[in-house]
């Protein structure tokens, strides 16, 4: 019986769940491909690729939390062959799509232009015209974290 303690058990459980989802996704891919549904097969193929990457990430977690005193036969039976294979040296990062890049650049340009309006308003009219300055400041303050979050995810 494998140890049912904390993080190691959780990592094994997550890996088992992901393996089951991978099996289902591969079955769906085969079904959609044989039925001739190209778009559905394409989506199923993307799902299989994402799940395979998730399995690799979770193999790292299991290896990290595995106690050194744990014997091979004490691992869950379904995980033994998977964990016997050497771990990949690096994990593949999730690449952002073109639409994510476009949204990030729009947010960056919008935040920069809002800050430009704030600076231009202060330079031209001083700080006395508060109502128009407040709107541009709030817009700049709200768009800046969005632009940072979207641009930082590459």
- pLDDT tens string 116-147: 888 887 788 777 767 777 777 887 888 888 88
Give the H or E element holding residue 56. Answer: helix 38-65
Return the residue matching tokens 């800046």: 144
d(CA 71, CA 1): 11
Half-sphere exposure of 111 (CA within 13 A, CB side): 17
Q: Is 48:25 a contact under the CB 8 Å cutoff? A: yes
> How high is the pLDDT of residue 27?
94
pTM (2 d.p.):
0.52
d(CA 16, CA 33): 26
Give the whole-number percent of the chain exceeding pLDDT 70: 85
> How high is the pLDDT of residue 1?
45
Q: Is 74:41 a contact under the CB 8 Å cutoff? A: no
Return the residue matching tokens 């998730």: 54
> How high is the pLDDT of residue 23?
92
């Amino acid at each position: 019986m494998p140890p049912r303690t904390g993080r190691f058990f959780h990592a094994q459980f997550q890996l088992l769940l992901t393996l089951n989802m991978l099996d289902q996704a591969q079955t769906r891919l085969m079904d959609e491909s044989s039925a001739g549904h190209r778009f559905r097969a394409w989506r199923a193929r993307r799902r299989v690729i994402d799940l395979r990457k998730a399995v690799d990430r979770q193999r790292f977690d299991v290896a990290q939390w595995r106690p050194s005193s744990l014997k091979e036969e004490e691992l869950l039976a379904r995980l033994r062959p998977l964990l016997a294979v050497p771990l990949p040296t690096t994990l593949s990062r999730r690449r952002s799509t073109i639409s994510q890049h476009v949204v990030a650049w729009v947010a960056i340009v919008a935040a920069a232009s809002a800050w430009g309006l704030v600076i231009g308003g202060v330079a031209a009219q001083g700080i006395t015209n508060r109502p128009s300055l407040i709107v541009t400041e709030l817009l700049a303050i709200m768009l800046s974290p969005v632009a940072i979050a979207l641009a930082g995810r590459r």
